[in-house]
Each structure stands twice: as structure tokens, then as C-alpha cells.
Amino acid sequence: MRDITTEIFEAVLFDNDGTLTDSRGPVERSWRAWAAEHDVPFERFGHFHGVTSRGIVERVAPHLDADAATADIDRREMEDVEGIVALPGAVDALAAVGERGAIVTSAGRELARVRIRAAGLIQTSVVVTADDISAGKPDPEPYLTGARLLGADPARCLVVEDAPAGLQAGRTAGAATLALLTTTEQDALEPDADLVAESLADIRFEQVDGGVRVHLQVR
């Protein structure tokens, strides 16, 4: 495991849902409604947080048309922004990393834009969505893409995540990983996390010569 408090990172790559933004209400309402309409037992979903909508559909309902189902779910989620808010520390974190930050999300481009705006967050200059890649988390492609677009070495990037699939993607990309306990139990996050924190409110980012440093907040 890496001691991320001793490193200087060229870039910080943030997941969005569950890391920067609390969108659990709209997500659960949309998926429950879709599942009920298509006679898909909701218990079948398990813990797919951090996986693309298409990836979830292909696993829980392989008999359905993945394109149509994904479009339907994205439409439902875009129409429901009730309760979407920025998670603790998210606004300060994005402001602190500035141009060295990117958002790497499993949501589609338009849905990501809607949620970032609904949460009142600053949209980073680089946003990688499900529409920009061919393989979603836990594949490393999303984070490799984010690093490339920022001109950063993946091994000198920090991935900030709340889901095992995202942490696995970051780890496989060669990045350091910071896990947040905003949606997932610690036991599930620890195998692929260099550091675990309650939320971004426990972390302070500082721009220094050559990149970004990470500090644990004293509260």
C-alpha cells in the first residue's frame, strides 16, 4: 500500500456519484421503477454501485435489449434530481485541486452534467463519462482516459472513490487510491484502498510545485 500523504500527485481523479455527489435517492427510485416494469427482481441487483447502467442491465437482465434499457434508465434518472446534493468536502476538494482535477463517472455525459449542476459543483475541465469509453469500471480505461486527458502519468494520479469497482479500476490503472465511506462498508473498500476516510471533509488537498498533496484533516 502507498502512503498517499507523502506523495505529490500530478492529478486527482474523482468519481462523482457517492464521492462528490449524493444521488442515491434518484438512482434507487429510477432502478426500482424500471425493475418493476420489466419484472426484474430488485434483489438481483446486489451491490453494483460504480458500474455503468449498461453493465448492470447486462448482468441482471441479459434477456433485454441493453441499448433500450440503458436509454430508459438514463431518461428516468435525468428527470429525477430531487435530493441531489454535494457530499461533505466535495466543493472544497474540487476548488483546491483546480486544473489538476477530473471527474470520472460511470454515468452518461448528459446525466453527469445534470447531476453535477444539481449538486452545485464546479465542473472540471476534464469529465470522463460512460459515453467516452468502451469499457466501464472495474476496467481501468476510465481512469487511464482521465489521466491522459490531463497529461498525467497514471502512476502519479490519485483516484478518489466510494465503490469497489472504481477502486479496482484505479488500482489496475496504476494510480494511488483514496476510498470514502459514503456508500460502502470499509471491509469492501480496504483491499484496493491505500487510504480510507469517512468523506472528503476529512481530506485537505493542497497545490504545491509539481502537483497536489493530500493531508488528513484534524477535526
pLDDT above 70: residue 202: yes
**Per-residue pLDDT tens digits for 61-105:** 888 888 888 888 888 888 888 889 999 999 999 999 999 999 999
- Cα–Cα separations (whole angstroms), residue 128 to 17, 56, 143, 192: 13, 19, 8, 21
Where exactly are the structural domains of the chain? 4-23+84-216, 24-79
Q: How confident is the model at residue 8 (pLDDT cuts 50, 70, 90)?
A: very high
Look-up of cell digits 476510498 = 179
d(CA 62, CA 109): 24
Name the DSSP letter for residue 179: E
Q: Is the dihedral of CA 123, 22, 182, 43 positive or negative?
A: negative
Look-up of cell digits 486544473 = 99
d(CA 15, CA 107): 10
Q: How confident is the model at residue 185 (pLDDT cuts 50, 70, 90)?
A: very high
Please give the average per-residue pLDDT across 115-138, as a whole number: 95
d(CA 106, CA 192): 18
Catalytic positions? 15, 17
Terminal Cα distance for the chain, rounded: 25
Amino acid at 174: G
pTM for this predicted structure = 0.85
d(CA 155, CA 149): 14
- The pLDDT assigned to 164 comes to 95
CATH number of 4-23+84-216, picked from 3.30.870.10, 3.20.20.140, 3.30.2420.10, 3.40.50.1000:
3.40.50.1000
Pair 157, 13: CB distance under 8 Å: yes
Please give the average per-residue pLDDT across 169-177, as a whole number: 98
Nearest to 23 by CA among 48, 45, 49, 47: 49
Q: For the chain, where are the alpha helices, taking DSSP H only?
A: 24-37, 53-60, 66-79, 90-97, 109-118, 141-149, 164-173, 186-189
**47 in the Ramachandran plot: left (φ > 0), alpha (ψ -120 to 50) or beta?**
beta
pLDDT above 70: residue 47: no
pLDDT above 80: residue 49: no
